[in-house]
Structure formats: C-alpha cells, structure tokens
Amino acid sequence: MKLCREPSRFMIVLLLTSSIPAAVSSQASTIDQRIDELLSRMTLDEKVGQLVQYPGYSEDRAQAIREGKIGSFLNVPGAENSNQVQRIAVEESRLGIPLIFGLDVIHGFRTIFPIPLATASSWDPELVTAIEAIAAREARASGVHWTFAPMVDIARDARWGRISEGAGEDPYLGSAMAAARVRGFQGDDLTAADRIMACLKHYVAYGQPVGGRDYNSVDMSERSLREIYLPPFKAGADAGAASLMSAFNLLNGVPTTANKFTLNQILRGEWGFEGFIVSDWNSVGELVQHGYAGDAADAARLALNATIDLDMASGIYDGQLADLVRANVIPEELLDQSVRRVLRAKFMLGLFDNPYVDPETETAAILRDDHVAAARDAARKSMVLLKNDGALLPLSEDIGSIAVIGPLADNQVDLLGSWHAMGQPEDVVTVLAGIQSRAAPTTTITYAQGSTITGAETDGFAEAVAAARDADVAIVVVGEREYETGEGASRTALDLPGVQPALIEAVHETGTPVVAVIMSGRPLTIPWLAENVPAILQAWHPGIQGGNAVADLLWGDYNPSGKLTASFPRSVGQIPIYYARDITGRPGTDFKYTSRYIDSPDTPLYPFGYGLSYTTFEYGDLTLSADTITVNDTLTVSATVSNTGDVAGAEVVQLYIRDPVASVVRPVKELKGFTKIYLEPGEQQTVQFTLRARELGFFDQEMLWAIEPGVFNVWVGWSSDEGLEGSFVLSGN
C-alpha cells in the first residue's frame, strides 16, 4: 500500500515558490520593464553577443566588445583590468550593456580556504557560508561578478580528481552544503559590493564517470539521478542560485549540454529554474566531438533548444546563432528568452548602475586580517583525526624534540589545492612554520624533506631517518600535489604518490612514534598507515593557513571535530564505495557465496561520518516522540550526548534512517539530519531532530514520489556505521 504518491513536480514547485523572497519579486517587475525596453532596441547580432563568453581579454577582442558581440568574459580578475575592459562595453558600445566577468572562485579568491571537500568535512554550513562570503567580498572588489561554484556533484569514486571540489558522497549533506555556499556567495542582495553570483555545476551526474575518468560518460538509472545526484542542485536552486553550468558528460547517451530531459523537463519544467545556464568550457563544441551534433550549427541549435543561455569559450553561438535565426531554424523568441535571462542577471548584479569597481576597495579587501583568521578556523575545523592510538596526540607542551619530515612539510604551493584562483604560494604558512611558531622554545625541531611528492629518488631517506631517530615524535607530512587533484586529474591508484609510502615505513622503523599528516584532495588508500602508525590526521589541501591549523590540532589548541564526507576505501578495487549502499539479497558473511570480496573486507577503511576527537562523547537516551506516526506527522528524535573526557570539543551528531521493506529496495542507511554541538568536559546536551514523514519517501517504480507505510529504523550516531538504534511505524491510516 502506498500512503502517498505524487509527481515529484508537486513537491518541487511548492518548495520553489515558498523560497522566493518578496523583495526579489517586486524588484523583478522593474527589471523586466528595463529588459523589455533594452531588448526592443537590440539588433540580432547584439542579442547573440549577450550569449557569448570568451576566456581572458586581449586587445583583438576590443572591437567585438564595441560592436556588442561579447557579453561576458571569464578569467579577467583585478579591479584595474576589469574596469578597463568594462569601459569598452559601457562607454564605447552602442547600448552600453555591461559585461559580466566570471571566475572559478572555488575555495577562496586570494585568501585561500581548504578545498570544498575539506570544508564539507566540518559539517558546519554556517562556517561554509561565512567563508564563501569572504571569497565573494574579495572577488567582487576585484571586479569578478560571478563564480563558477559551488560544484555540487555527488562523488562516490575517489579516482575522479574533482571529488576535491564537492561535498562528498551524500545527497543530504551535499544539499546542505550547496545551499550554504550559495547563501555565502550571494547573500540577500547581488547588487551589494561584496556579493557575487553563484553557479551550480556541473549539471548533471558529472561526478560518476565510468572508471572514474574525468569527462567520461555516465550511465545511470533515473532513480539514482533523482534521489542522489539531483538533490544538491535542487537545494542550491531553492537557495536562490542565479545561474547553473551544464556538464561535459553524456548521461545515458545524451550530452548534458543538450539534454532536454534534464534541462528542459526537470530543471526548467519541474523545478521552474529561471536563472541562466552557462555551458561548460567548449561543451557546446563538444556536442560535435561526442557525435551528437553534425556540425557547429547543429550544436548551437541543440544547445539553445536545451536552454543553454551562455556559450563558454566555444565561439559557436558567436559564429552560428544569428544565421540560424535568419534562416528560421531557431525562432527569435527562443533567442530572446536566453538574452532576457542573461540581462536579468546583469540587472540583478546592479551592473547597469555600477559597472566599475574601486581599486582601493580591492586593496583593502584582499587578505584582510579577519579573512586570514577565518582561513585558519576553517582549516582546523575541516581536518579529520582518523587515528590516535595511545593518545599520542595532542603533543605535550614540554615535548623535547620533534622531527618534521616529508615533501609537504615545508611546501607552500600544494597546500593551496586545485583551483586556487588568485591564491599565491607566498601567502601559505607551511606546516614546518606552523610547528616552529607553536612549539615551546625548549623544543628542538629538525626538518628533513625525505623525498619529493611524486619522484622515485630515495636519497633523502637517510636524513629523514636520522632526524626521526633523534626525536620524541616524527610528524610526517605527505600527500598529493595540487595538480594531481581537481579537473583532469583522475588516478587509477590512490596510494600516496611516489616513494612516500616507503619514506613513512623507513621513519616508522626507527621506533619513534609517527604522526602522519595527509594533505590530499581525495580519500587515499592508506591501509598500511591505518595498521602501523599510531596517529593519522587527514588535513586535505588546507589553504593558506594550513600550517597554523595543523599546529593548532597537534597541540590541542583546537580539538579535532571534522568527520568524513566520503568513505575511505581500503583499495581501489572497492570503488565505488559509499555508506548508503543497497541491501543485497546476500549480505556479506564468511560464507563464500555472499556479496563480499575474497581478498578484502567489503567495509571501508574509514566510513562516512567518521572522525575522532581528543575527548570522548557518550550517547544515550534515544527517544522518539511517538511509536507510530501518520504521513502528515513529524517525528522528533532525540538523544543526549555527554562529553565524558577531559577537554572541550565539538561533535557532529548524525541522524540516519532505513526503510527495511519497500516496493523499491532502499539503502541500508540514509542521512536525514545532522547538527554540530560544542560541549565542555562533563557537559551534556539533548539533541533533537525533526523528521517529517514526507522525508521518508522515495521515487517508486513509476518515478513518482511515494511514501509507504511500515516499520522504519532510525539511528542517532557518531558515524554512518555506529549509533543508537530505534524504530517507529509509519501507519497506513
């Protein structure tokens, strides 16, 4: 029996309309009038120009700007630069329509924060909003109006380098982070001098390419698409994201840049998304490369029909659209719709009234002290303590000697991580510098690089071993280069690159306790470390304050509170790996013919939601507000969490559910809530979650949202695989 079945469209429209702030709607009519007026004066070529975006600026583009044939640039940061180019559009073109400048402000503009996968590991949407607001302030002051972020692609395959740019494997957490980042970039008023427009990307399913190989095709059920990959886009759209980027990949055989199902039907139709859509870099051109469009004209037609408004970098709209309209292949009304959407964004940004930025404001905004302090705070809240045997950490104040070892220990550039916008290596505090400034004057610190990150040379091992032998503790800082992560950086092996594993083994053999600090853009396969070294801190690519943040954690000035948002596989062979797997007919046991590996446990090395603290938290008193609820009810689930250790700390309390019997088999667990609390030693707090019966639904066999009666399991836990368990009944009455 189904309690409730409804087209997904119903829920979605409800959510969307309730999220439009009144101020925006009243402003919209004025903007619409201004757009109408402008549009009536535009020639066909000028209209097409608004849909054209080129990368960088060079003088040979000046004439096209004067003629109104370019509406946007990417990669023209800097107040002076952008003003100079803007002046051509505003003062020398016939209609004076301002340009919109976009840039990949992925985790900071000049003040570089930890990579997005790291800040998602804070499980702290407010923190994420705050850092994106800082990124927005610096970017806008520099003449950037628009970021190509957040990337909200769910990723369950760490071979894919771009896992670093997202929030990990889970749609619920991914949705919370998507909304938080949009709010941070955009605030309430895009005309403000410290806000930029967000762009949800890459629509859609780009994060699940076959083989984990970037740009590769995606083959996926509509249910997975709707339940796992679309929700963060929906959440970002509901939070008001003004733009969205299509992707490079095929989805079930159809390129996502011309996909009428995902773009026209779901995004524009079901969700009513009115923002503008930019293609990814040359993804309109790649319609030909894919073998989906016969030639450039065909590609332009297919993309515009799928409501791709702005053509990034391919030049195909520039070369083709006007002719296609003249030949009646594309109706001018269709073109006008796209032009309207782009113009609306320019009005929303206030560019017609304020096209320029003040270079003095730029200087004042960049690397402000509070921005740098926020980078340190974000970094320490993003790091995840994976192991801490024998309470090796925190280090004691009077520790005699520390050996700081490894190719990322005295490294600046790689701590910036991929896509570091205007970030500069010289802004980065290295781990060595962080340790040197934190350690007591009586502590001896020695440093040995040991090896490079990717090279094969082991000449430096002897010095590293000698340093470790003489020290009380060895802090070994290892990981990936920044360019080994992010776009175009898929890997088939996820071990620490180069000879780093051998370096750690050599240091470990000295008998000096080892703290491994891992700086990577993805989960790496580290079973040897997990087995052999007493302490592991997953520090990700932590940004400009990474070294200070590591020191804060090593000495316990800040108690680690990050939790994983992507499962750590034991080996690449387990990929894709994620906690919300389906229940199989043969759950793995010791018996051979069950769903398991014969050469490895099927569990991850470290699960989603996992992370240690220097204190201990005890969970108790799981209470449900009712044993039975109806479809219109809300269940309250509460539990008490006590800090039973000696130091204060923050804990991420997680709510999971499972629908054990359903007409479509449900995952073993699904995250449905989380909260981060801070407790002094001995302090206790009751945490309450509200779970609406409506959230217990799923897409049924006809792709309709269904809520089915029956028993549900619920957990309040400290990771996806541990917690207090209860159950309740959703009644059919």
Nearer to ligand NOJ, 246 or 559 (CB): 246
Under 8 Å between Cβ of 245 and 201: yes
704's torsion region: left (phi>0), alpha (psi -120 to 50) or beta? beta
What character string, x for contact with ligand NOJ (CB under 6 A) and - otherwise, covers 138-157? ----------x---------
CA dist., res. 586 & res. 571, Å (int): 22
Q: Total binding residues for ligand NOJ by CB under 6 A?
A: 7
Two tokens at 314? 């391919």
Residue 201 touching ligand NOJ (CB under 6 A): yes
Under 8 Å between Cβ of 306 and 284: no
Nearer to ligand NOJ, 160 or 619 (CB): 160
The residue within the footprint of ligand NOJ, chosen from 124, 157, 227, 280 (CB under 6 A), is 280
Torsion from C-alpha of 715, 177, 342, 260, nearest 10 degrees: -40
CA dist., res. 665 & res. 668, Å (int): 9
Nearer to ligand NOJ, 89 or 247 (CB): 247
Residue 109 touching ligand NOJ (CB under 6 A): no
Min dist CB 199 to ligand NOJ, Å, is: 8
Residue with nearest beta carbon to ligand NOJ = 148
DSSP helix, strand, coil percent of the chain (3-state; round to 5): 35, 20, 45
Annotated active-site residue in 104, 214, 280, 377: 280
Min dist CB 163 to ligand NOJ, Å, is: 13
Distance of CA 26 to the CA centre of its chain: 32
CB-facing half-sphere around the CA of 492: CA atoms within 13 A: 1
Dihedral sign computed on CA atoms, order 89, 94, 96, 102: negative
Residue 487 touching ligand NOJ (CB under 6 A): yes
The residue within the footprint of ligand NOJ, chosen from 172, 281, 317, 540 (CB under 6 A), is 281
Two tokens at 306? 């799928």
| Cα–Cα distances in angstroms (integers) from residue 113 to residues 105, 118, 520, 545, 550, in the given order | 11, 9, 14, 8, 14
What character string, x for contact with ligand NOJ (CB under 6 A) and - otherwise, covers 583-612? ------------------------------
Residue 124 touching ligand NOJ (CB under 6 A): no
Two tokens at 511? 């008998």
Min dist CB 73 to ligand NOJ, Å, is: 11
Under 8 Å between Cβ of 525 and 569: yes
Two tokens at 36? 């109408």
375's torsion region: left (phi>0), alpha (psi -120 to 50) or beta? alpha
Nearer to ligand NOJ, 201 or 344 (CB): 201
Two tokens at 396? 């004691």
Min dist CB 535 to ligand NOJ, Å, is: 35
Tokens 């040379």 sit at which residue? 457
What character string, x for contact with ligand NOJ (CB under 6 A) and - otherwise, covers 70-89? ----x---------------
Q: 400 to 459, contacts with ligand NOJ by CB under 6 A? A: none
Nearer to ligand NOJ, 279 or 388 (CB): 279
Min dist CB 203 to ligand NOJ, Å, is: 11
Nearer to ligand NOJ, 113 or 148 (CB): 148
Residue 482 touching ligand NOJ (CB under 6 A): no
Dihedral sign computed on CA atoms, order 459, 461, 462, 467: positive
Min dist CB 647 to ligand NOJ, Å, is: 41
Residue 104 touching ligand NOJ (CB under 6 A): yes
Q: Active-site residue 389, yes or no? A: no
Nearer to ligand NOJ, 161 or 168 (CB): 161
Residues designated as active site:
280
Residue ranges in contact with ligand NOJ by CB under 6 A:
74, 104, 148, 201, 280-281, 487
